[in-house]
A and B are shown apart, each in its own frame.
Chain A
Amino acid sequence: MQKVNRLQPFFENLVFERDDDRMIINFGPQHPSSHGQLRLILELDGELVTKATPDVGYLHRGMEKMAENMIYNEFLPTTDRMDYIAATSNNYGFAHAVETLLDLEIPRRAQTIRMMLLELNRIISHLFWLATHALDVGAMTIFLYAFREREYAMDLMEDYCGARLTHSSVRIGGVPLDLPENWITKLSKFIDKLPSDIADYEGLLDQNRIWKMRLEGVGVITPEMAQSWGCSGPSLRGSGIEWDIRKEEPYELYDEVDFDVPVSTTFDSYGRYKLHMEEMRQSIRIIRQVIAMYYKTEPAIMAHSPEYISAPKEDIMTQNYSLMQHFVLVTQGMRPPVGEVYVPTESPKGELGFYINSQGGAYPYRLKLRAPSFWHTSLLQELLPGQYLADVVTIIGNLNIVFGEIDR
């Protein structure tokens, strides 16, 4: 039994001193390849992991509690801080959930802008994943290349909404701004160049002996495991299950665009790497189609629903009733109907769901955030035993977990 010490944590369930040849090591919470504040308590037999206990909560900010004390529009910027690598997908997930609750119809132009932003975010997130994952495994060059391209994509986000990381670029009911001048030209330039960059990454990694040795056959998630542990996104498709929410339960205009859902049949980390690469290509494909759709839309970018959504700025400045309504919506907030929704969206990490229980008040009665990384981290308990210590880093990096959304 450990001696209780004020400054050292006390683990009643762990015995660090043991009589057998097993060793218990503490991985994190401050570890460069734990991608945030993940603490892993690993039981080792030589270099083989025999038991893994992930410990999370170091970044817990109580977002669900905050949501219950905020009006709906106030909560939107908070969602940026969940998956801070792809903030727009969180904003969108929340906005989409509230819109489903309100049963709003979103103007087509707003939908095309949202789709461009969402797919651009997916590219940003996947580039970041590739960069950090490769760095963990030991490939420094990829990190520099991928971050260079990510920088161009972040410039585009900055051009649109002014922020690089915490975008808040989606509003409940639409988007705040139309695209700036020349934005589409810049976006087209970016996506025209990106395929050759992806080819460069693949040229560096695909047949790289070290990369293959580190990834092939490591972190095998069988379809049974993936279903039982509630995997989603690339981790689920990496297990051979073809399930993409954009395809199966389409939102926005995803049913009008043409794209493929890549699936891996090897179930291992290498398969998931190939899958991420392919997903970036599919995102480029979607953006190309959406750009063409954008030009055919009417200029409206916010839904017309005076009860819930403020009027356009011109109306607020010129018309008395719009100003009054805007004042009430800002100070008191909208009051959605009584009811509950669970709305899943396909974020770069997986299924991002928002469960909202509204009792007709200005604040949600209960809001549950279903962040994909939380479920992927719990999978580590079954995934890590039987792997070598060096592969732990590969697996954590490969699962693409982000602690902002695990701890919320």
Chain B
Amino acid sequence: MRKYTDKKNVQKKPYHTDRFWVAPQVSKEDVSSDEVFASDLKELQENFNIKDAYIQRGQLVVYINPGENVEVLAFLKEKLKYNFLNELSAIDWLEKSGEFEIFYQMLSTSKKKRLRIKFFIKEKDEIRTVSKLYNSADWAEREMYDMFGVIITGHYYMKRILMPEDWYGHPLRKTYPLHGDEEASWYEIDKIFGKEYRDIIGPENRDSSRVDESDTYNFSRIHHEVPFGEKPSKEVTFTDYQEEGGVFLIKSLKKADSKILEERP
């Protein structure tokens, strides 16, 4: 029987881990240490349920309720002058708690401050779109759906953006292997030749570092080229040739006469 391996997280793991290693933490500062952030947070706390807030590496991080994302962002935009939504995406915590962590990275050019709004949602939970507030969320939310399968409601055109529309699976989930899954290895075969060619061609090997020793066509050996399909040979092939009658400007190339310039003219 094949050995059972857990597929919850197929990302690469370090081959050696020190059992007694305790990872240090990036320091979290109290919000009161920054005047602007303190007043922003105070206004947020008056209007919304704020679960946690701290400053990390100069940026305010605020945890909110997942249901209030649109209202909080609208408040930030209208009242607190955070005029840019620079980035939004998700973090996969499905293995640990069955949740996605969503973050919105905001910028206020008038205050010269950046803050991050975060919240957790369950895997199948839906969140409301913020693309009506910030147009920049339009593609970012599509990418989040494409990469993680986070469902967003109210978006006018919720389609995959980077992957093909008929792709199976969400590549940035921890359960998705780096070289693609079973469906990925058949995708191009099905698309180009058809399902009936699966047996003839076989699955696509998506490992980019694979080298097929006997493949003399896709992986030719320089100075040892052989005709298509034949076995590799040790015989040296002569590749230094001159077109009959020469080419434009060079009638016959004398290699010994050529010189290499020390510097560009």
Residues in chain A within 8 A of chain B (CB atoms): 6-7, 13, 56-57, 60, 62, 64-66, 68-70, 100-101, 103, 151-152, 155, 225, 227-230, 232, 241, 243, 248-249, 332-333, 335, 337-342, 344, 351, 353, 355, 357-363, 365-366, 368, 370, 374-375, 377-379, 381-382, 407-408
Contacts and interface: CB of A to CB of B under 8 A. Distances in A.
B85 A230 contact: yes
14 contacts: A62-B178, A66-B178, A228-B136, A232-B86, A338-B24, A342-B116, A344-B114, A360-B24, A361-B23, A363-B14, A370-B86, A370-B87, A378-B136, A379-B135
Contact of B23 (A70, A100, A103, A335): A335
B243 to A, nearest CB: 28
The B interface, classified by DSSP as helix, strand, loop or mixed, is loop
Interface in B148-188: 159-164, 171-172, 176, 178
Contacts, number: 129
B11 A68 contact: yes
Interface of B: 11-12, 14-16, 21, 23-26, 28, 56-57, 59, 61, 83-87, 89, 91-92, 103, 105, 109, 112, 114, 116, 134-136, 138-139, 147, 159-164, 171-172, 176, 178, 191-192, 194, 264
Given A243-B109, A378-B136, A338 B178 contact: no
A6 to B, nearest CB: 6
**10 A-B pairs closest in CB distance:** A339-B26, A360-B23, A230-B136, A57-B162, A378-B139, A337-B24, A69-B12, A228-B135, A60-B162, A370-B87
A358 B83 CA distance: 28
A341 B136 contact: no
A358 to B, nearest CB: 8
Interface centre among A337, A340, A363 (most CB of B within 10 A): A340
A249 B21 CA distance: 35
A65 B91 contact: no
Contacts of A351: 86
Contacts of A361: 14, 23
A355 B89 contact: yes
A362 B61 CA distance: 24
B26 A337 contact: yes
Interface centre among B59, B91, B139, B171 (most CB of A within 10 A): B139
Nearest to A229: B135
Contacts of B172: 64-65
Contact of A353 (B87, B139, B163, B178): B87
A13 B192 CA distance: 22
Contacts of B171: 62, 65
Nearest to A374: B139
Contacts of B56: 339-341
A228 B194 CA distance: 44
Nearest to A102: B26
Contacts of B139: 374-375, 377-378
A37 to B, nearest CB: 12
Contacts of B83: 227
B194 A344 contact: no
Contact of B136 (A338, A363, A375): A375
A100 B27 CA distance: 12
A69 B12 CA distance: 5
A243 B103 CA distance: 23
Given A6-B194, A64-B172, A366-B91, A340 B26 contact: yes
A337 B23 contact: yes
A70 B209 CA distance: 15
Contacts of B159: 13
A303 to B, nearest CB: 17
A242 to B, nearest CB: 9
A60 B163 contact: yes
Contacts of B21: 335
B112 A248 contact: yes
Contacts of A230: 84-86, 134-136
Contacts of B24: 337-338, 360
A56 B162 contact: yes
A360 B85 CA distance: 28
Contacts of A13: 159
A373 B108 CA distance: 20
B62 to A, nearest CB: 13
B161 A342 contact: no
Nearest to A359: B23
A70 B28 CA distance: 27
Given A151-B264, A338-B25, A342-B105, 16 more contacts: A64-B147, A68-B11, A152-B264, A248-B112, A332-B15, A337-B25, A337-B26, A338-B24, A339-B28, A340-B26, A342-B59, A342-B87, A353-B86, A353-B105, A355-B87, A378-B136
Contacts of B192: 6-7
Contacts of A6: 191-192, 194
Contact of A341 (B57, B164, B178): B57
Contacts of B164: 57
Contacts of B59: 341-342
A13 B136 CA distance: 22
Contact of B26 (A70, A227, A335, A338): A338
Nearest to B118: A340
Contacts of B28: 339
A155 B147 CA distance: 39
A249 B112 contact: yes
Contacts of A57: 160-164
Contacts of B25: 337-339
Nearest to B87: A370
Contacts of B87: 342, 353, 355, 368, 370
Interface centre among B83, B135, B194 (most CB of A within 10 A): B135
B139 to A, nearest CB: 4
Contacts of A243: 109
A335 B135 CA distance: 37
Nearest to A328: B16
Contacts of A103: 26
B115 to A, nearest CB: 10
